[in-house]
Structure 1
Amino acid sequence: MASMASRIPDLRGMAIDDGRYKLTQLLGAGASGAVYRATDFLAETADAAQRAIKVLPKTNASKDVIIRQHREAFLHQRVSDHPNVLSLHDAFEDEDFIFLVMDYCPGGDLFHFICEENAYFLNDELVRSVFVQILDAVHACHAQGVYHRDLKPENILCSADGSEIYIADFGLATDAEESYTFGCGSLQYMSPECNGQDYDCNIPYVPKDCDIWALGIILVNMLINCQPWESPTQSDQYFADFLLHRDDYFDRMPFLSKTASALLSCMFELNPKYRMNIPELRKTILGIETFFAVDDQLPTANAMLQRLDGVLDSLLHEDDEECYGSLPEDMAEEVLEEEVTVEEVIVHEAVVIEEIVTVEEVDLSQLHPDNYYKMQEMGSSVSAFVAAYGDDCESATTSTTCSDSSGPPTPGTYAHDPQIEIPDIMEGEGLGQIRVRLPSPARPSKKLEERPSPALNILEHLGMAAPV
């Protein structure tokens, strides 16, 4: 999908709203519009003098796109009074554009603080404080009947030090309690039922539950700076491994404490009905002493990676004896006795590590539902969660993977646009005169109805698929 920056002319220097605002700097562009820094010449304070203005193009836009743009302004304004939702101060339009005037956040977005500042890694207090703010903001939106559907670090803005957050970008938000708009959002943060690839598309998904799933992905991002999988489908090797080893998938990720791993398992319930709700999540987050593994919990594979780092460091030495002496003792003896090169040792270590973290390819269609998915007996209550895991909990393990494994190598965290932007259709005209109306559910295409899914028996087992 082409970036909106390539479809909007450069508006820097442009004065809008009878000269009140002047667009001064392009801050970024996404799938639906561009965001500019702007000066407000009528601002009462110096802080208010700088605004962020989102520009949504109307030229050549379809009626559905115009409706979606109006809906973004309408729903954002509805939740704008919460302290952790980016304030929308004004919205107006001319013949070519719709303008949304918001607070300017000089700190950037959560993605920046996760990937570039590494602000939350091994910082329990900051993780707890920031994630509770995110939970409170999303919960407030849900209480107002607004479901975001594109929660991700790029859509969460931050204060200058990353300690305060503001939910932003309601371009894919809806107030529909059920939706047939499958594939809505950003793929890595999308829930399986919203993605729809392995689900019966005759049944709508619940956007509120999809936001809970996305919150789980964001928490993984904050804790270990990576993604747990690329997409929530059986064709994704990491998600397939999660489906097979749900009880210990997060235990095998480096640096996560047992309690944090157990919490993530609860957040990623395949059946949305059993997913933890936000009040439960909030209480549990506040009760977790540490999200990060202590030294005796770190997987053996991490030690192997450190050994490999030692091998790489040894290449900096010119003298062979000095080089061998810098290796771990057992590896140095192997090199000296067998006269193998350091390069061969590196290859050997890399192969060992690869064998540990290799993801087994499986045919999920051959798995019986009872072996594939075991309904958690504790349901979704906090009391059951605490009783089952406690402060020093250890998840039950049904995996055949070596207990020393650190789990599969997880995909990197990187910025990305929504996969699709097809809104639920409503009708309305003009900002300030928006009328939100739920659509009549559209029947899925015959192609989707006839597509075979190896997960269908699993969905029937969960009570989530209509009989064929």
Structure 2
Amino acid sequence: MSFYSTTPRAGAVPPLPNLAGTFVDEGYLKLEQLISSDNFIQIYKALDTTTDTHYSVKCTRTDTPPPSRLTEEFSIHQSVSHQIGVATLNRMFEEDGRTFMILNPAAGTMGENITKFGMYVDRPDRIKGAFIELVEAVTECHHAGVYHRDLRPRNIWCDSRGWGLRLANFGKATRKAESDEFGCGRPAYMSPECADTTRGSYSPRESDLWALAVILFNMVTGSNPWRIADFADASYAAYRSNEDTHFIETCHLTPAANDFFRRCFASQSEQRPSLEEMAVEVLAIDRFSLAHTFTVHSRGQVHSALLEVHNVNAPDLRFVDRAKRSITTRERFAKKVRRA
């Protein structure tokens, strides 16, 4: 049995109202702008009126998910909140049947940079810099015994240049090395094991690595490889029938990028690269795609002007270790990821 389904759920809970312009936290916090809304979760840009400090605020219903799950989310997120590449979680409070989590502010999300700006497409140095930051963040979480299970561009906060990545939304996160809770996260980013309920259990660690590969695919192509990693999905079935050249023929990937994704999307998890191997292999790729040269097409529109605005040189074989205020080279990074 597969998690794949197009049937709407019965008795769905109505979405949250737009609270932009209202005050919460006993009137001290103004929700200035709704940044994103997804599956009964809202992210607001908010202002603390007592200090003139801006925050990002996550809003959910107190009963959806259950209170125990919200408490677990807060506990897990707070345990890694100090880590490199994780959004800082300050506090949580309940008000009027809603739960609010107060986080340090974010300029935007990787999802916006991919879908609106095409910021990474045909920019190999920028792809490498962002991906290495992402791998380091996941490595730190895994080393702390935390597995996100909902990694996707919308849950990755970043600055206006597409860097300074921070993992957010730990609503599906777990500390379990093996899980029997299937269907966690968005279908397009689920590993085959997570999507297949007949398996009995799956590895959240391996599921995170699969999602990382899909996110890299998003950055390279501006699209998803499939709706879900299940043979009921035509795109996934087409890939499995021609793994050697499918992405070269359909997405114009370079042979080096194609070989990397073929390893990441191996049907058996033990054949997939580790976090360390993913980082080293991505850094060694000179170019990921031949589909775009001077312009980027996103949602059918050319965004070359936007690319000119965001044309900033990204780090290639090194990245900023923000917590230590230093530069971490490939060799030092390799030592760090071996801990996970």
Give the alignment's TM-score, normalised by structure 1.
Answer: 0.57
Q: Distance in 1 between matches of 2:262 and 2:142?
A: 23
Question: Secondary structure in 1 aligned to 2:225?
Answer: coil
Matching of residue 97 in structure 1 with residue 95 in structure 2: no
Q: Which amino acid aligns with 1:23?
A: L
On the 8 A contact 1:224/1:255 being kept in 2, the answer is no
Aligned-residue offset at 1:95: 5.9
Matching of residue 291 in structure 1 with residue 292 in structure 2: no
Q: Which amino acid aligns with 1:161?
A: R
Matching of residue 231 in structure 1 with residue 228 in structure 2: yes
Q: Distance in 1 between matches of 2:164 and 2:208?
A: 20
Q: Which amino acid aligns with 1:83?
A: I
> Could you tell me which residue of structure 1 aligns to residue 174 of structure 2?
174
Question: Secondary structure in 1 aligned to 2:247?
Answer: coil
On the 8 A contact 1:257/1:294 being kept in 2, the answer is no
Q: Which amino acid aligns with 2:57?
A: I
Q: Distance in 2 between matches of 1:292 and 1:9?
A: 41
Structure 1, 125-134 or 174-183: larger mean CA deviation:
174-183
> Could you tell me which residue of structure 2 aligns to residue 12 of structure 1?
20
Query: 1:393-408 residue pairs with structure 2 within 5 A?
Result: none
Deviation digits for residues 303-358 of structure 1, max 9, x if unmatched? xxxxxxxxxxxxxxxxxxxxxxxxxxxxxxxxxxxxxxxxxxxxxxxxxxxxxxxx
Question: Secondary structure in 2 aligned to 1:251?
Answer: helix
Q: Distance in 2 between matches of 1:36 and 1:16?
A: 12
Q: Distance in 2 between matches of 1:276 and 1:32?
A: 34
> Could you tell me which residue of structure 1 aligns to residue 60 of structure 2?
56
Q: Which amino acid aligns with 1:285?
A: V
Unaligned runs of 5+ in 2: 1-7, 294-340
Query: 1:404-415 residue pairs with structure 2 within 5 A?
Result: none
Q: Which amino acid aligns with 1:214?
A: A
On the 8 A contact 2:16/2:40 being kept in 1, the answer is no
> Could you tell me which residue of structure 1 aligns to residue 183 of structure 2?
183
> Could you tell me which residue of structure 2 aligns to residue 385 of structure 1?
none
Deviation digits for residues 64-87 of structure 1, max 9, x if unmatched? 711111111111111111232111
Aligned-residue offset at 1:178: 0.9
Aligned-residue offset at 1:161: 2.0
> Could you tell me which residue of structure 1 aligns to residue 194 of structure 2?
194
From 5, 12, 37, the counterpart of 1:29: 37
Matching of residue 220 in structure 1 with residue 217 in structure 2: yes
Aligned-residue offset at 1:204: 0.6
> Could you tell me which residue of structure 2 aligns to residue 356 of structure 1?
none
The alignment-based identity, stated in percent, is 30
Change (3 A) 1:66 1:124: same
Change (3 A) 1:240 1:85: same
Aligned-residue offset at 1:254: 3.4
Query: 1:122-201 residue pairs with structure 2 within 5 A?
Result: 122-196=122-196, 200-201=198-199
> Could you tell me which residue of structure 2 aligns to residue 339 of structure 1?
none
Structure 1, 126-135 or 230-239: larger mean CA deviation:
230-239
Aligned-residue offset at 1:259: 0.8
> Could you tell me which residue of structure 1 aligns to residue 77 of structure 2?
76
Aligned-residue offset at 1:42: 4.0
On the 8 A contact 1:80/1:86 being kept in 2, the answer is yes
Unaligned runs of 5+ in 1: 299-468
Change (3 A) 1:237 1:91: same
Q: Which has the larger radius of gyration?
A: 1
Give the alignment's TM-score, normalised by structure 2.
Answer: 0.77
Q: Which amino acid aligns with 1:246?
A: E
Q: Distance in 2 between matches of 1:230 and 1:130?
A: 24
Q: Distance in 2 between matches of 1:83 and 1:114?
A: 22
Aligned-residue offset at 1:292: 2.9
**Hey, which of these two has a bigger chunk of strand by percent?**
2
Aligned-residue offset at 1:253: 3.4
Q: Distance in 2 between matches of 1:28 and 1:230?
A: 21
On the 8 A contact 2:221/2:289 being kept in 1, the answer is no
On the 8 A contact 2:254/2:288 being kept in 1, the answer is yes
Q: What count of residue pairs does the alignment treat as equivalent?
A: 284
Question: Secondary structure in 2 aligned to 1:253?
Answer: helix
Question: Secondary structure in 2 aligned to 1:99?
Answer: strand
